[in-house]
A and B are shown apart, each in its own frame.
Chain A
Amino acid sequence: MTAVEVVTRSRLRRGRRRRLVIALLVVLVVATFAVTLMVGRTVYPPADVVRVILGEDVPGASFTVGRLRLPRAVLGALAGLCFGLGGVTFQTMLRNPLASPDIIGISSGASAAAAFAIVVLGLGGAQVSVVAVIAGLGVALVIYLLSYRDGVAGTRLILIGIGIAAMLDSVTAYVLSKAPQWELQEAMRWITGSLNGSAWADVVPLLAALAVLGPALLGQARNLAGLQLGDDAASALGVRVERTRILLIVAAVGLIAFATAATGPIAFVAFLAGPIAARVTGPHGSPLVPAALVGALLVLVADLVGQFAFGTRYPVGVVTGALGAPYLIYLIIRTNRTGGSL
C-alpha cells in the first residue's frame, strides 16, 4: 500500500465517520423535536401531530400542538442552531474554547439591549432584534479594541470580556428591577433565557436571520479553517484575513444577537456546542454544521428536562446553566493538569 493510498483511505474513513455523526445528530434533533410536540400535559400520538402540521383541524391538538408546542419547538431548534453556529465560529476563530460569545459578554450585550428596548423604549418584534444586533456588534467591537495591544491576545480578550459581561449583566438587572409588574418567569428570559411564551412572531426574524447569515457563515468554512492556522499561514493560503474575519464576526454576532432577542441568552449553549461537536465528530473537517446541530439538540433536550423532569417548570437557561458551568470548571481543571495555556 503506497503512502497515497494510506492517506486516501484514512481520509475516506474520517469522512465516513463525520457523515455518520452528522446524520445521527440530525436524527436526534428531529426525534427530540417530535417528542417536544407530542409530550406535555396531554400526550398526543404522532398521527395527530402530523395531521396538525399538515394543517388539518384536530380537536384539542390543533391549539396545543399548533399554537403552543410547535412555535416553542421551532424557536428552540432555531435558537440552538444560531447559538451553536455563532459560538463555534468565535471559538474556532480565536482558537480558544473560552472565547465563546456567552463568556466574553456579547450575549450579555444583546440581552441587556433587548431588555432595555422592551422595558424602557417600549419596542417590540423585529425592532428588538435590530437593537440587540447593534448592541452585540458594538460590544464585539469594544472588546476587540480594548483587548488590542500589539495584537489580540486570547487571555486578555477573555478577561476583558468577563469584565464587560459583568457590567452589562448589571444593566440588565437594573432594567428588570424597573419593571416590577413583570412576571418573574418573563424577567428570567433576559437573565438565563427561556422558551416560555414562544410565538410565531418570534420565529420569523430568527428564521430570516438564519437563512441569510447561516449560509454566509458556512460559505466561509474553508477560510475559517485557514484562520485557525494563524494569520500568516492563512494569508499564505490565499485567505483575505481581515475581510474574512470581519465577515465571520458580523455573521456570528448577528446570529447570536437575533437568537438572544428571541429567547434571551440561553446560558452556555454557544459555549458547549463547539466542544461537544468536536468530541463526537473528531478534530477533522469544519466544525460548523455539527456544532449547530449540537446547539439545537442541547436547547431542545434542556427544554424538555426543564419542563418535565422536576416538579416545577424551569426555563431552559437554568438547565443549560447548571449543565454548562460544571463543564467550564472541568475545562479549567483539565487544562491546568495538562499545563496547557488557556
Chain B
Amino acid sequence: MTTVLPRQAPGVAVVRRPARVRLLWLLAVAVVLLLLVAASLAIGSRDVSWADIVAALGGSSDGLDQAAVTKRIPRTVLALLVGAALGLSGAVMQGVTRNPLADPGILGVNMGASLAVVVGIAWFGMWTATSFIWTAVLGAGVTAAFVYLIGSLGRGGATPLKLALAGAATSAAFASFISAVVLPRGDIAGNVRSWQVGGVGGAGFDSIGQAAPFLVVGTVICLIAARTLNALALGDELATGLGEHVALGRGLASLGAVLLCGAATAVAGPIGFVGLVVPHLCRLLVGVDHRWLLPFSALTGAGLLTAADVLGRIVARPDELEVGIITALVGAPFFIAIVRRQKVREL
C-alpha cells in the first residue's frame, strides 16, 4: 500500500544506479556547481572583468568593480549553504514522512520559523543573528511536530493531501499572526517584509558564521540518518523487523531536517520549493538510496539556489528579483507535475 517514492514507469524503478553512472553524475553536478559559482560572482548590475574578479577573490578591493565582486562573495556562499540545507532537509522530510510532497515550505515549517523570528523581533527586541537562529529553529521544530500531528491523526496516517493541507492551513494561520504582530510596529515592518520575501542579497560573513554550526550539526545528523531512512522506506513494520528503532530514527532525522531549514530560514528568510524539487531530481539521477540521495540533494540544492539567485539578477537587471520568488515560480509547476503523476488514491 505504501508506495514509498515517486512512481516511475514499470521496469525502470531505480533503487541505485551503477557506480559508474553515479560518479559521472557527481562529476557533472560538481562542474555545473562550479560554473554557477563563477556566474554568481561575475553577473550583477555592474559588468566586471575577469581580472577584477580574480583580484577580488584574492582579497583586493580596489575600485568599484572589485568592491562589487567582494559584495558578491558572501551572497554566493550564503546561496550555496542555504540551498544545500534546504535540499538536504527536503530529502530527509520526504523520507521521514514517506511523502513525495514534503518540503519545508509546503509543510509550513518555514512559516513557523518566520513567525518565531518575527515575534522575537517585535516583542523581545531581538536583533542579533544568533538569537534569530535559535528562535527560528525552535519555531521550525514546533511547527513541524504540529503539522505532522494534524496530518497524521486518524485513519490512513499522514497522506500527502492531509499533510499538504495541514501545512497550508498552518501557513495561512501563521501569516495572519505575522501580520497581526508586525502591523502595529511601523518601525520594524519594512525590515520584516523584506526578510519575508526570502533573499540572500544582504548576506554578510558574520551571519553566515553564526548559522554555520547549526548547518554543520544538522548535516551530520541527516547523513547519519541515511541508513535509517532507507529502512523506513520499506515501511514501519519491515524497518522494525530489520532492527531499526523506528521512532528514534524518525525523531533524529527530523531534528536534523529542522535544524537545517530553521537555520536557513533565519539567515535567508522563508524560501519554498527547493526542498521539494531537489530530491525528486536527484532520485532520477542516482536512485533512491539515501546514502547517495542525501549528499546529492545537498549539492543540487546548492546549485539550484545559486542558479535562482543568478537568474534573479539577470531577469530584473539592473534591479534584482528575490530568490524566494524565483524558487516559487519554478517550484510550483514542479509541485503540480508531481501531483498529476500520483494516482488519486495515493493522495
Min CB gap B107→A, angstroms: 12
Would B324 and A170 count as touching, CB distance under 8 A? yes
At the interface, yes or no: A171 with Cβ under 8 Å from chain B? yes
Of B6-14, B294-302, B332-340, the segment with at least 4 beta carbons within 8 Å of chain A is B332-340
CA distance A68 to B202 in the complex (A): 41
Across the two chains, which residue of chain A brings its CB closest to B185? A312
Would A167 and B177 count as touching, CB distance under 8 A? no
- Contact digits for A35-67, partner B, Cβ 8 Å, 1 yes 0 no: 000000000000000000000000000000000
Chain A residue numbers with a CB within 8 Å of B156 are: 336, 339
Chain A residue numbers with a CB within 8 Å of B3 are: none
Min CB gap A116→B, angstroms: 13
CA distance A317 to B106 in the complex (A): 22
Tell me which residues from 146 to 187 in chain A have a Cβ below 8 Å from any Cβ of chain B: 146-147, 149, 153, 155-156, 158-160, 162-164, 166-167, 169-171, 173-174, 177, 184-185, 187
Min CB gap B334→A, angstroms: 9
Of B173, B194, B329, the residue contacting A170 (CB under 8 A) is: B329
Known contacts A160-B339, A162-B164, A324 near B172 by CB under 8 Å: yes
At the interface, yes or no: B322 with Cβ under 8 Å from chain A? yes
Min CB gap A82→B, angstroms: 20
CA distance A243 to B47 in the complex (A): 57
Would A329 and B173 count as touching, CB distance under 8 A? yes
Would B179 and A191 count as touching, CB distance under 8 A? yes
Known contacts A164-B336, A174-B321, A339 near B155 by CB under 8 Å: yes
At the interface, yes or no: A252 with Cβ under 8 Å from chain B? no
At the interface, yes or no: B344 with Cβ under 8 Å from chain A? yes
Would B154 and A337 count as touching, CB distance under 8 A? yes
Known contacts A184-B193, A329-B170, A322 near B180 by CB under 8 Å: yes
At the interface, yes or no: A217 with Cβ under 8 Å from chain B? no
Tell me which residues from 277 to 324 in chain A have a Cβ below 8 Å from any Cβ of chain B: 311-312, 314-315, 317-318, 321-322, 324
Of B151, B153, B168, B172, the residue contacting A267 (CB under 8 A) is: B172
At the interface, yes or no: A342 with Cβ under 8 Å from chain B? yes
Would B172 and A312 count as touching, CB distance under 8 A? no
Of B106, B169, B190, B333, the residue contacting A332 (CB under 8 A) is: B169
Known contacts A158-B161, A171-B329, A321 near B324 by CB under 8 Å: no
CA distance A103 to B339 in the complex (A): 16
Tell me which residues from 173 to 190 in chain B have a Cβ below 8 Å from any Cβ of chain A: 173, 175-177, 179-180, 182-184, 186, 189-190
Chain A residue numbers with a CB within 8 Å of B321 are: 174
Known contacts A164-B336, A322-B177, A329-B173, A312 near B194 by CB under 8 Å: no
CA distance A187 to B194 in the complex (A): 13
Would A336 and B154 count as touching, CB distance under 8 A? yes
At the interface, yes or no: B150 with Cβ under 8 Å from chain A? yes
Chain B residue numbers with a CB within 8 Å of A103 are: 168
Would B332 and A314 count as touching, CB distance under 8 A? no
Would B150 and A329 count as touching, CB distance under 8 A? yes
CA distance A128 to B117 in the complex (A): 35
The number of residue pairs between A and B whose CB atoms lie closer than 8 Å in the complex comes to 151
At the interface, yes or no: B101 with Cβ under 8 Å from chain A? yes
Interface size range of chain A in the complex: 35 or more
At the interface, yes or no: B328 with Cβ under 8 Å from chain A? yes
Min CB gap B344→A, angstroms: 4
Q: Which of A103, A268, A329, A337 has most chain B Cβ within 10 Å? A: A329
Q: Which of A146, A164, A325, A342 has most chain B Cβ within 10 Å? A: A325
- Contact digits for B182-211, partner A, Cβ 8 Å, 1 yes 0 no: 111010011001101100000000000000
At the interface, yes or no: B26 with Cβ under 8 Å from chain A? no
Min CB gap A219→B, angstroms: 33
Would A174 and B322 count as touching, CB distance under 8 A? yes
Would B173 and A325 count as touching, CB distance under 8 A? yes
Of A158, A170, A318, the residue contacting B179 (CB under 8 A) is: A318
- Pick 19 A–B contacts, CB within 8 A, sort by A: A146-B340, A156-B340, A159-B160, A159-B339, A166-B105, A166-B106, A166-B335, A169-B328, A177-B322, A184-B186, A192-B175, A321-B176, A325-B169, A328-B168, A328-B169, A328-B172, A332-B169, A333-B153, A336-B153
17 additional contacts (CB under 8 A) given A147-B340, A329-B173, A339-B156: A146-B336, A153-B347, A155-B161, A156-B344, A160-B340, A162-B165, A163-B332, A166-B273, A166-B328, A167-B329, A167-B332, A169-B328, A170-B329, A184-B189, A318-B179, A322-B177, A325-B176
Q: B residues near A, CB below 8 A? A: 101, 105-106, 150-151, 153-156, 160-162, 164-166, 168-170, 172-173, 175-177, 179-180, 182-184, 186, 189-190, 193-194, 196-197, 272-273, 321-322, 324-325, 328-329, 332-333, 335-336, 339-340, 342, 344, 347
